[in-house]
Structure 1
């Protein structure tokens, strides 16, 4: 990487180098286990001119998202999060039968189904053919495409301008930040609203959430860098909410420049918090790499000790972030026998790079392991409840981030 993809600067400084890993959603079939896997460097840098944290665009969105292994509806807490958002947005913006809502990267319709239920006209714009098909089967109108200025203009011409454009957990996934932002502006009405949810770099740094760095996530935002990114497409940030999702996220409320007005007090408050954390100077980034290394050492020490003691350890979940963690730590089936996942698409497959088998969740109760390593740690409350049954045989849960935590669960 030689230039910042947002401002074009060459002033890029290293934050953490995680080595080289395969793309995190490239789960392997049994037939592919004897084939080589491509790996790509995973090195996070920050631009000291606009403070956008970023990795090189070594893989294309087309390689990752044309067929995708992640279906949002398999997380009940995430579906509930979407339902509450739709209710709140409808009240905030006065959405009704005459309104039009577009969601970009709408996945399997997990959010827009709630818009459909309210009788509000809507459309999903989803690049993954298989996931978009699932949305249509669930009754959510879905257009299969990657968002660009041209796609935005085409959708607007056919369906009209959107009163609300939602872009949750996608603003980090696109290497062409400026083109994508112009696509959002093309979709939204001149007096409309854009709502974006994206992980907050502040909590990523503070809570050692380095496993959310992977090749699908091309950039990592503060409010300060998000303001610059939105401006590149003619949008102005007018409000921000801090959310607990994904370990700490931003909900950015933006409007076309001409309709924006003054930003809320919450915008200036979060900007001040980021500045106090040193995220607009290098001091806020210098210790992160050492703290990442400690997470790795602590997890490996636990797994090696468990193996030496004859204890069994299995995983729960096969999220993309888990594959960053497994590959960075060099964990193989000798230390983690298998992991399980609720998504049947992943059953019978293997994690990329580490080649750990992925099985149905019922396998845990059948095998009664001593420890369950929870890879989607951001769903800690939901999964602690789901896995309460491991208490029956004295099993314990292990959370690797923000620091190693071994938990005895109770019913």
Structure 2
């Protein structure tokens, strides 16, 4: 393996999660007796440019041509997108003469707010089924993977974009350099690029190992993201710290020819990363022990529940949950089933661990003793949604950053 940013062969192992199936390949009942492919899930650090990455063992086409994740099933995420659009319209003075392009626009969860504001926009979404849901929301959507040819064609047809949004996609692209060039090709010379990614500072500091899965090819500090963007002549000018996905950064970048100076927030975040040891190799070595501690605590808790005859079920079937379940070796003897709001997943089974996915109403019918929330990053939203389990004395548990009960 060579670094996909700087082509170095000096890569250091920082977390080996074994071999697991791709996290979004939910199984149908008819597939339960079929062989299931697994791939190593092994996080490495480039000791030259400090980019965290895993080998590109599956392609985006394998994952995203038909996709199980629909952003709009999270109320928190839709509200997050609405607030972003409102702030971007104000900050950038966007109007009916502007153009907003979102890459990996999913089911229109964000661009629906741009449409409502009367601002021209276009979504680029590779998943056929998810893009269809966006068009049902009247969000103009091109079903395609972004590459440089498509970027040039879109620019020729629609003009340069005043704002390009790339939320939670910059980690999903194995061709990091080509994708970054494509983002620049979409953008006006005085335009803005907004990227949201999970912050590797939180991944390492809080042991958030379940954010590592095969469709995430790289994991960014602000330092490594700035180095990647610079390869296409894009300069980081501002950054925001977000609570989403267990702690993300929103990076604002512009063409470096525009000459904008970085804000004080950029310097502050870089300083925080440096103080955490992430501008050096040694700071990353604490991740593996933290992951092992989470696994041991969770398994100890579930085994105690079983020994006391308590029923435990899950809530949610996110990609991160499948990394957690597979790394911990959790099967139906410890987690009877999980539920999810997404109808696409109902009647299917989690990859690798083969745990049934049911409708959320099943929890009220069965009245389990414990509900384990797999999308732990949505703790406030899920705590409110599941408050009703106190009617029978149920307990809601979150596995990360440390195993803990919700305050119901």
TM-score normalised according to structure 2 size: 0.99
User: How far off its partner does 1:187 sit?
Assistant: 0.5
1:157 aligns with 2:160: no
Q: In the aligned structure 1, how far is the partner of 2:285 from the partner of 2:83?
A: 38
Structure 1: give runs of 5+ residues left out of the alignment. Answer: none
Alignment deviations for residues 318-355 of structure 1 (CA, whole Å, 9 cap, x no partner): 00000000000000001100000000000000000000
Matches within 5 A, 1:214-293: 214-293=213-292
Q: In the aligned structure 1, how far is the partner of 2:135 from the partner of 2:259?
A: 34
Sort the Cα spacing of 1:83 and 1:408 in 2 relative to 1 into closer, same or farther, 3 A.
closer
1:354 is matched with which residue? Answer: 353
Q: In the comparison of the two structures, how many residue pairs are matched? A: 408
2:51 is matched with which residue? Answer: 52
Q: In the aligned structure 2, how far is the partner of 1:23 from the partner of 1:92?
A: 39
Q: Is the 8 A contact 1:238 1:260 kept in 2?
A: no
User: How far off its partner does 1:269 sit?
Assistant: 0.9
Q: In the aligned structure 1, how far is the partner of 2:322 from the partner of 2:119?
A: 38
Q: Is the 8 A contact 1:20 1:40 kept in 2?
A: yes
2:365 is matched with which residue? Answer: 366
Alignment deviations for residues 28-71 of structure 1 (CA, whole Å, 9 cap, x no partner): 00000000100000000111111100000000000000000000
Matches within 5 A, 1:304-315: 304-315=303-314
Q: In the aligned structure 2, how far is the partner of 1:108 from the partner of 1:240?
A: 26
User: How far off its partner does 1:407 sit?
Assistant: 3.1
Q: Secondary structure at the match of 2:108?
A: coil
Structure 2: give runs of 5+ residues left out of the alignment. Answer: none
User: How far off its partner does 1:406 sit?
Assistant: 2.3
1:25 is matched with which residue? Answer: 24
Q: Is the 8 A contact 1:254 1:260 kept in 2?
A: no
Alignment deviations for residues 177-223 of structure 1 (CA, whole Å, 9 cap, x no partner): 11111110010111100000000000111111100000010000001
Q: Secondary structure at the match of 1:18?
A: strand
Alignment deviations for residues 356-386 of structure 1 (CA, whole Å, 9 cap, x no partner): 0000000000000000000000000000000
Q: Is the 8 A contact 2:206 2:290 kept in 1?
A: no
Alignment deviations for residues 249-289 of structure 1 (CA, whole Å, 9 cap, x no partner): 01000011111421111111111110111111122112211
1:323 is matched with which residue? Answer: 322
Q: Secondary structure at the match of 1:156?
A: helix
Alignment deviations for residues 156-193 of structure 1 (CA, whole Å, 9 cap, x no partner): 01111100000000000000111111110010111100
Q: In the aligned structure 2, how far is the partner of 1:184 from the partner of 1:356?
A: 39
User: How far off its partner does 1:148 sit?
Assistant: 1.0
Q: Is the 8 A contact 2:383 2:407 kept in 1?
A: no
Q: Is the 8 A contact 1:313 1:371 kept in 2?
A: yes
User: How far off its partner does 1:388 sit?
Assistant: 0.3
Q: In the aligned structure 2, how far is the partner of 1:293 from the partner of 1:203?
A: 16
Sort the Cα spacing of 1:260 and 1:313 in 2 relative to 1 into closer, same or farther, 3 A.
farther
Q: In the aligned structure 2, how far is the partner of 1:148 from the partner of 1:356?
A: 37
CA RMSD for the aligned pairs?
A: 0.7
Q: In the aligned structure 1, how far is the partner of 2:90 from the partner of 2:320?
A: 34
Q: In the aligned structure 2, how far is the partner of 1:288 from the partner of 1:241?
A: 24
1:380 is matched with which residue? Answer: 379
User: How far off its partner does 1:290 sit?
Assistant: 1.0
Matches within 5 A, 1:58-137: 58-137=57-136
User: How far off its partner does 1:74 sit?
Assistant: 0.2
2:294 is matched with which residue? Answer: 295
Q: In the aligned structure 2, how far is the partner of 1:276 from the partner of 1:103?
A: 34
Alignment deviations for residues 281-311 of structure 1 (CA, whole Å, 9 cap, x no partner): 1221122111111100110111111111100
Q: In the aligned structure 2, how far is the partner of 1:24 from the partner of 1:85?
A: 28
Q: In the aligned structure 1, how far is the partner of 2:31 from the partner of 2:353?
A: 13
TM-score normalised according to structure 1 size: 0.98
Instruction: Find runs of 4+ consecutive structure 1 residues off by over 2 angstroms.
Output: none
Q: Secondary structure at the match of 1:287?
A: helix
User: How far off its partner does 1:408 sit?
Assistant: 5.2
Q: Secondary structure at the match of 1:258?
A: helix
Q: In the aligned structure 1, how far is the partner of 2:405 from the partner of 2:274?
A: 34
